[in-house]
């Protein structure tokens, strides 16, 4: 370099401009450049305690518009009176398809007058947030729009279970009942769902967030579709059907779900930056990862604005220990809202037990709670909450 250029720049500035290799050469012998610390993304904690409830309004709403709208209004008001702050309405891809495709309204008649839009408007009037609760893999059937070529879907996107490909398999014990799943390893399937969700987010500008239900396969044995088998063998030189119960296959199984969560996160950040992305699942990511649910990574990577572990236990000591594990694993990077159930497939609880768990969640430092599920809570149950742990509005 010229002498004048050399004099015009400080040594620090020169080192900033040089490539890493040159910087290393400029350091004293044996010295190493100090790597810059990369901050871990952390989702901010809510300013006030979140009190959420999962609800299934489509199942409990009359198809007739006048009566259905009255029922939605009454539903929103009962949770507002009990001092909840967040509603999580269960939403199927079939319902979203029915908003644009009349042939799907036979299965989803409330789409004729859009119950979800009515619910969001009524909740906004009452000061309640709404995060749409949706699964991108599980809770499908043969008539789900993802598999309908007529509206851009494909039967090839359907996940295949091990016993469908290997009859009489002995690699693992499978549930007696098979369920339909979408295989998110198919990028076209993810793109189709993201396009459907983009229409949804534009349709409902008052929507507070997008809440993902158990983001992975619902049961063991998935997925061994043609795409998964082909790609896995190219990557690892062995058959997926022989290795499905291994850690290598577990890593492979997380690729599609992780891709969907990262892609929808980027989509929301670019087009809907005020919306919140969240998910729910088990309390231990090590176990959930077996089914492709890599939420521990997503939370600690800053992809989620909150996570809800489904700590569906009636024993308060087990509840505390399981919630404490989730908080220890991801609580520093992602707010954890304690999930608890009055009635679920895992068992039943009492309203007194729910109250005790709410207090335990606060003691452990959880900034919110989420209760399952709306239809299980009677007016008497809600009064207990209103007179007890939810007495003060947030």
Is it the case that residue 34 has pLDDT exceeding 70? no
Contacts of 290 (CB under 8 A, 6+ apart): 220, 250, 253
The DSSP secondary structure of 8-21, one letter per residue, reads HS-HHHHHHHS-HH
To 5 degrees, how large is the angle CA 167–CA 291–CA 367?
A: 160
Is it the case that residue 36 has pLDDT exceeding 70? no
Predicted confidence at residue 28, as pLDDT, reads: 52
Predicted confidence at residue 218, as pLDDT, reads: 87
Contacts of 128 (CB under 8 A, 6+ apart): 76, 79, 80, 84, 85, 86, 87
Pairing of strands 343-344, 347-348: antiparallel
Phi and psi for 128 in degrees, rounded to 5?
-100, 140
The DSSP secondary structure of 257-316, one letter per residue, reads HHHHHHHHHHHHHHH-TTSEEEEEE-S-HHHHGGGT--HHHHHHTT--SEEEEB---SSH
**Percent of the chain surpassing pLDDT 70:** 90
pLDDT in tens, 219-269: 999 999 999 999 999 999 999 999 999 999 999 999 999 999 999 999 999
pTM of the model: 0.90
Q: How many CB atoms lie within 10 A of CB 315?
A: 11
pLDDT in tens, 183-206: 999 999 999 999 999 999 999 999
Is it the case that residue 317 has pLDDT exceeding 60? yes
């Amino acid at each position: 370099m010229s002498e004048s250029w050399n004099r015009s720049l400080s040594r620090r500035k020169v080192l900033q401009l040089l490539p890493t290799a040159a910087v290393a050469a400029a350091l004293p012998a044996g010295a190493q450049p100090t790597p810059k610390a990369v901050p871990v993304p952390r989702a901010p904690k809510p300013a006030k305690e979140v009190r959420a409830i999962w609800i299934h309004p489509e199942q409990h709403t009359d198809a007739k518009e006048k009566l259905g709208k009255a029922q939605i209004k009454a539903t929103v008001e009962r949770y507002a009176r009990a001092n909840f702050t967040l509603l999580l309405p269960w939403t199927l891809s079939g319902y979203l398809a029915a908003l644009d495709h009349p042939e799907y309204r036979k299965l989803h008649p409330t789409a004729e007058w859009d119950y979800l839009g009515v619910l969001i408007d009524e909740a906004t009037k009452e000061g309640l947030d709404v995060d749409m609760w949706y699964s991108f893999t599980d809770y499908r059937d043969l008539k789900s729009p993802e598999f309908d070529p007529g509206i851009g879907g494909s039967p090839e996107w359907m996940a295949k279970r091990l016993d469908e490909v290997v009859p009489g398999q002995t690699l693992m014990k499978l549930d007696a009942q098979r369920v339909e799943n979408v295989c998110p390893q198919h990028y076209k399937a993810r793109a189709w769902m993201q396009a459907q969700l983009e229409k949804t987010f534009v349709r409902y500008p008052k929507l507070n967030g997008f809440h993902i239900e158990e983001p992975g396969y619902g049961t063991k044995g998935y997925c061994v579709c043609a795409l998964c088998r082909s790609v896995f063998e190219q990557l690892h030189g062995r058959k997926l059907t022989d290795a499905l119960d291994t850690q290598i296959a577990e890593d492979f199984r997380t690729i599609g779900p992780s891709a969907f969560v990262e892609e929808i996160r980027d989509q929301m950040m670019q087009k809907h930056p005020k919306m919140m992305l969240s998910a729910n699942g088990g309390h231990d990511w090590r176990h959930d990862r077996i089914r492709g649910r890599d939420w521990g990574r997503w939370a600690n990577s800053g992809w989620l604005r909150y996570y809800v572990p489904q700590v569906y236990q009636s024993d308060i000591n087990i509840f505390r220990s399981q919630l404490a594990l989730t908080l220890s694993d991801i609580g520093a990077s992602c707010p954890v809202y304690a999930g608890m159930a009055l009635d679920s497939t895992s068992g039943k609880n009492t309203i007194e037990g729910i109250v005790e768990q709410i207090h335990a969640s606060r003691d452990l430092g959880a900034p919110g709670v989420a209760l399952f599920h709306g239809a299980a809570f009677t007016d008497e149950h809600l009064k207990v909450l209103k007179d007890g742990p939810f007495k003060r509005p947030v």
